[in-house]
Structure 1
Amino acid sequence: MRILCPVLFGMSVVVLGGSLAGAQDAMPSPPKVIQITREWIKPGKMGMVHDRSEAAFVSLNNRAKLQGHYVALNSMSGKSRALYITRFPSLQAWEADNKVLATGAFATDFDRAASGDGELLDGMDQAVGFYNPDLSFHPHGDISHARYYEITSFRVRPGHRKDFADLTKMYKEALDKAGSSAHWAAYEVNYGADCCTYLSITARNSLSEIDDENAAFNKVMEAAGGEDGMAKIDQAFGQAIESSHSELFSINPKQSYPEDSWAKADPDFWKPRMKAASEASAPKPAAPKPAAQPAAASKPGTR
C-alpha cells in the first residue's frame, strides 16, 4: 500500500483498466493469519550458505505435512535480512502445527536445524498479523507467479484508527475511479510490534509493475481531485499516521515451503529440483553408436 504523491510514499498504484479489478476480486483470499519471522543475517552468510541451512526446515515441514506454508524473502533494501511469511487459515491451525513439531523425532530435528541456522544469524524476531479486508484493496491471494514483495509498515497515531480507515477509503475510491489494478493485503500486527502497527503487502510478478505505477501517478492524482485532492489525502495522512516505512524483497524459492497450487502452477520456480529429477527419470532415445576410432593411450581420470 504505497501512496504515490510528492510527500507520501505508501499504497501501490498502476492503471491498466477497470476490468482487471473485478478479476482480482475473484482470486483466492489472503490468509487470515500470518506469522512473520525476521532473521538478521551475519555478513557473508547470505546466499548458498543460508540456503543450505534453511533446506533443513523445508524438508522437515514437508515430512510433517504442516498446514502453515511459507514464502521466504531476501532483502533488496535496508539491512541484510530474510523474512519468512507463514500463512494460516486460523490460530487453531497454527496450534496444530506446533503440536506436530513438538512430538517425536520432529522436535529433535527442529532443534538441530534451529541450532545450525542460529550460527548464521545476528538476531531474530517474530510478529503475528491478522488480515483486515476493509483496509485491503483487490488483494492477490494467489502468489504462484510472484517474484517480489513490497511491504510497507504504518504506525498509526493512538486514537486515530478511524482516521486511518477514512484515509484508506479515500485513496481506494480514487484508485477505483482511475480504473487502477493496484492491489495490497492489509494486516494489523496484534503481536510482536508496537500498538497500532499495520502492514500493507503487495506481491509482484515483475519489478516493471513498479515502473508502470510510477508512470501512472498523474492519472491517479487526477482521479483524486488533482493537486487539491492529493493535498487533502496528504493532510489526512499526517493526521492519522505517525510513521511509515517501505522495503523491497525478492522471493527465495529454495527457502520457501510453497503450497501445492503454487508448485503446480510454476514448477520451474518453486520446485526446480523436482522437475529436473522427473525429466532425468524419463526414458531417452538411444544414442547412435560412434564410429570405430583408433586405440589411444589411456589417460588419468579428470574432474
Structure 2
Amino acid sequence: MNLPITCRCIALPLLLVGFVSCVTPAVSAQDKTIPSQKILTIQREFTKPGKEGAAHEKSEAAFAQAMAGAKATDHYYALASLSGRPRVLFLSAYPSFADIEAERKKVNGNASLSAELDRANEADGDLLAETNSSMWMRRDDLSLNQGYRVGSRYAELTQFVVRPGHTGEWNELVKMVIDAYKKGVPDAHWGTYEMLYGGGSTYLVITTLRSGEEIDSNFAKDPKFIEALGPEGLKKLDALEASCVESRQSNLFRMAPKMSYPPDAFVQAEPDFWKP
C-alpha cells in the first residue's frame, strides 16, 4: 500500500470497497462484533499480471513491519479480491476527520518511519498497475445489525450508484429492505456507507462472513425475505430500484492478515488469525 491513508491527500473514484473498524473499541462478548467508526478510508491497489499473491504479500509485509516497529496507532486491514480484477483493499476507520489529521501528523513527524514507508512504497510500486483512494461516511439509518463480526474470513461488497435527484427514493428502498429483513431474516447484518470524496452519489453495502457455508446459508434465506416483503412490496421495490439505481455490482473478498496492520481489538479477539 503506497502509504497509510492519512499520508495521502488524493481521493479518486473507487469501484468496490469494504468495511472495517480500525480503532480499538471493546468487543461485545454477546454478539461478537466490533463497532464501526464514522469515517471510512480505503486505498485500492490493482496488481500487475502475475504480481498478485505471495509477491504482493511480501511487499506489503514491509509496511506492516515498519508500522509495528514504530508502534504506530494508525491501523488498517486488507481485503484481497476473489472476483473481478486482482486487487487488494486497505481499510482504516476513524471517529472524525480531525482524527485522520492527527494520525497523519504522527506519521509525518516520525522521520525514521516515513523513510521506511518511502522505501516500502518504492518496492511495492513495481508490482502495481493502478491505485486509488476514497473516503466514506457510515449511514446508520441504512444499516442493519452493523459491525465487524469476529471470526469473519470473507466480505461481500455491493456498490450502488444512485441517479441524481433520486436520493429520496433510494432511502425509501433501503428502509423497505431493512423492514423486510427484520421480519423475515432478523439475524441479517450489513453496514452501509455513503461516499464523501472520490465519486458521485455512491453507496456501499457490506456483509462480513465467517465461512463459505454462511454464504450458502444467506442465499438459502432469500425466500424468507421475499415472503416478508409480499407481492405488492416486491413490486414496489422493483419499481423503486428501476427508478433510482443507476448501477450495482457485488464482489467477494477474503480477509488478508499478512497484508494488514490490524487494530488491537482485532488481534485481541483472534490473535492466531491476525498475528499468525
TM class by shorter chain equals: 0.7 to 0.9
Q: Which amino acid is 2:202 matched to?
A: T
- Is the CA contact (8 Å cut-off) linking 2:56 and 2:127 kept in structure 1? yes
Paired position in structure 2 for 1:108: 115
Q: Give the whole-Å Cα distance in 2 for the aligned partners of 1:150 and 1:61.
A: 28
Paired position in structure 1 for 2:201: 196
Q: Give the whole-Å Cα distance in 2 for the aligned partners of 1:263 and 1:130.
A: 25
| Correspondence 1:252 to 2:256 | yes
Paired position in structure 2 for 1:20: none
Encode CA deviations 1:215-268: one digit per residue, 9 max, x unaligned: 11111111101x332121111111111111111101110011112221122122
Partner of 1:69, secondary structure, is coil
Q: What is the deviation of 1:65?
A: 3.3
> How many aligned positions are there?
247
Q: Give the whole-Å Cα distance in 1 for the aligned partners of 2:94 and 2:161.
A: 24
Query: In structure 2, which of residues 111, 125, 136 is the aligned counterpart of residue 129 of structure 1?
Result: 136
C-alpha spacing 1:129/1:25, structure 2 compared with 1 (3 Å) = farther
| Correspondence 1:37 to 2:47 | no
Q: Give the whole-Å Cα distance in 2 for the aligned partners of 1:236 and 1:65.
A: 49
| Correspondence 1:59 to 2:54 | no
Partner of 1:224, secondary structure, is helix
Encode CA deviations 1:271-295: one digit per residue, 9 max, x unaligned: 11xxxxxxxxxxxxxxxxxxxxxxx
Q: Give the whole-Å Cα distance in 1 for the aligned partners of 2:30 and 2:165.
A: 33
Q: Which amino acid is 2:219 matched to?
A: N
Gaps of 5+ in 2: 1-28
C-alpha spacing 1:111/1:246, structure 2 compared with 1 (3 Å) = same
Paired position in structure 1 for 2:124: 117
- State the TM-score, normalizing by the size of structure 2: 0.85
Q: Which has the larger radius of gyration?
A: 1
Query: In structure 2, which of residues 166, 173, 183 is the aligned counterpart of residue 177 of structure 1?
Result: 183
| Correspondence 1:48 to 2:68 | no
Gaps of 5+ in 1: 1-22, 273-303
Q: Give the whole-Å Cα distance in 2 for the aligned partners of 1:139 and 1:54.
A: 29
- Is the CA contact (8 Å cut-off) linking 1:64 and 1:101 kept in structure 2? no
Paired position in structure 2 for 1:187: 193
- Is the CA contact (8 Å cut-off) linking 1:151 and 1:247 kept in structure 2? yes
Q: Give the whole-Å Cα distance in 1 for the aligned partners of 2:79 and 2:223.
A: 31
Q: What is the deviation of 1:63?
A: 3.0
Q: Give the whole-Å Cα distance in 2 for the aligned partners of 1:63 and 1:120.
A: 24
Q: What is the deviation of 1:28?
A: 4.0
| Correspondence 1:147 to 2:153 | yes
Q: Give the whole-Å Cα distance in 1 for the aligned partners of 2:218 and 2:268.
A: 30
Paired position in structure 2 for 1:220: 225
Q: What is the deviation of 1:25?
A: 7.9
Q: Give the whole-Å Cα distance in 2 for the aligned partners of 1:30 and 1:206.
A: 21
C-alpha spacing 1:79/1:72, structure 2 compared with 1 (3 Å) = same
Bigger shift: 256-265 or 119-128?
256-265
Encode CA deviations 1:161-206: one digit per residue, 9 max, x unaligned: 111111000111111111421111111111112x111111111111
Q: Give the whole-Å Cα distance in 2 for the aligned partners of 1:122 and 1:45.
A: 10
Partner of 1:269, secondary structure, is helix
Partner of 2:246, secondary structure, is strand
Root-mean-square deviation (CA, aligned residues, Å) is 1.7
- State the TM-score, normalizing by the size of structure 1: 0.77
Query: In structure 1, which of residues 242, 248, 254 is the aligned counterpart of residue 246 of structure 2?
Result: 242
Q: Give the whole-Å Cα distance in 1 for the aligned partners of 2:156 and 2:71.
A: 28
Q: Show the 5 A alignment for 1:269-280.
A: 269-272=273-276
- Is the CA contact (8 Å cut-off) linking 1:68 and 1:87 kept in structure 2? no
Q: Which amino acid is 2:220 matched to?
A: A
Paired position in structure 2 for 1:285: none
- Is the CA contact (8 Å cut-off) linking 1:25 and 1:139 kept in structure 2? no
Q: Give the whole-Å Cα distance in 2 for the aligned partners of 1:26 and 1:147.
A: 14
Encode CA deviations 1:9-37: one digit per residue, 9 max, x unaligned: xxxxxxxxxxxxxx988944311111111
